[in-house]
Chains A and B, each alone.
Chain A
Amino acid sequence: MAEAVQGVPELTKAERMKVPRHAMPAQEPLARIRNFAEVALGYAAESALKEAQRCLQCANPPCVKGCPVAIDIPAFVELIRKGDFAGSLAKIQETNTLPAICGRVCPQEEQCEIVCVLAKKYEPVAIGRLERFVADWERVRGEVATPQLAAPSGHRVAVVGSGPAGLACAAELARFGHEVTIFEALHKPGGVLVYGIPEFRLPKEIVAFEIDNLTRMGVTLRSNFVIGKTATVQELFHEHGFDAVFLGTGAGLPYFLGVPGENYIGVLSANEFLTRVNLMKAFDFPRTDTPVRTGRRVAVVGSGNVAMDCLRVAKRLGAEEVVCVYRRTRNESPARKEELEHAEEEAIDFRWLSAPLAILGNEEGFVTGMRIQRMELGEPDASGRRRPVPIAGSEYEIALDTVVMGIGQGPNPLATRSTPGLELNRHGNIVADEKTLMTSIPGVFAGGDIVTGAATVILAMGAGKQAAVGIHEWLARLARGEVTKPAPV
């Protein structure tokens, strides 16, 4: 049994507004740039109780509508206030199977917290920090209960990819009583949660724990299995005996800029840089076998969350000068505010309004620098952001040892190219029905970055859940003989 925690009293509405939002402790910047341990340290129980006290318990809560998976936020926060942390976690798990992850990496400031009624005059309830708190509290105590599962349906579903979309889809399907196998191409499950997001933002132990929960729910994991190579989608139906397939293969194709010099040694995609460090533990070389080299001066091109991760990893690997090169300004940066602030605290040199013109190298083929064009903001473009335009004669060069391209990823084509009849858009993303997420092939569903292009963990999870509902309904129709599995090609 969990130890009993004393709740805190309910405050009047007026009193609640007077309580300031509780800060979350974090490692000091000077200390943390020398280690890979988690930066944000999470609430202590006392802060969590007091933060929970601030919630206005709105009758018609806007935060729930802001959440891509519609967590009953007031209910879980109220259970924290009462000291019922296990009940609070169970409430979250009704709609979200990965709370320790979402509490850390969701952009709450754009979703649930931005619409919090308190945010109009004061600061919003720290919903993300509270979600993280209960998940961590119960995990540390080993008290996490396995969700209830429906009776076995007799249907088998293949989930392709073990990133956020696949994990969320698998959990939901298991709850519906379906037999689920997740196929993962890499040797460790978790997708971008494992190869992409660094340890200091999302400890891998937490990802492993959440995945263990899935196996406890009866989900089978097949690592080292590439759909499109080890078996095709067609073969999943006709040789492996699955009744439906979910494709959550993500955005696993790195983009390069197309400027001269991109093949010099020392120019890496963000995917390569992060995979070497996060999945292959290159920060521990030579105790581990996969190397990574940054040299003294590193530039990361781009300013999204992936670029922030690369900048901060480079700093932790010991690079002295770490430069962010971005053609727009801080205001247009797609990174989360918290990530930008963390990077700024870690003394990253931000070069806003700077566009790379060329990567420079030497005879041996190694990177030596970058030629940069200064920009200014012009008229708004199609994205609504002001378009950066070059300032004539403003080119300059910086000396570098490593360049990391953090300008985005496209859809990995291995699964899609090997699936005849699967409709793709002009970017190579899968076209899926907006409601059911079924693709042009009956019984094949898709969601997450492979459909939307690179987005966030929580949007992918939302899509995984949505597809699970679509799959569940389709399987019911399959059982009634109203639909049939795709015919062998």
Chain B
Amino acid sequence: MPFLSLRSELSLHTRCENQIQNEIDRRPSRAGDQRLCDDYRRDYPNAQHRPTAPTRQYNCHGLTFACRRTWIWKSSEVAKILIDDEYQRIELRDVLPGDIVLYTQNGDIEHSGIVIKTGYVPIILSKWGPAHEVVHRVNDCPYDAAQISYHRITR
């Protein structure tokens, strides 16, 4: 393992070769982080909580758009990806596994995930901030599901 600084940015580009601002925070998790994760495991009993430890090396957008490699926290960067990678917005009735879901609040894309199962309520794989990864119903999470949208890359 090479020497890595505690915080750094990956060279990460959209299909149009625009850099996506990101930050990996390699500092170890703090006291209390695991307990907070356990609280969420208890508060969302219908979700499937994956056995991943809390980490600030990647977040939901890092999982959805960057293969779990980094943390993307600016909505403008997510918007850049959607445009440059030519994501198409799709309706709920057309959602398929592999599509992505965005949770937006007052213009802030506060959460994202990957659809892994469809049905009356889509099932999502996502990461909850620095906490763990969770498989959950689209509306069964700590984020506001009032404004969600689905997107797909078609080519």
- Do the two chains bind? no
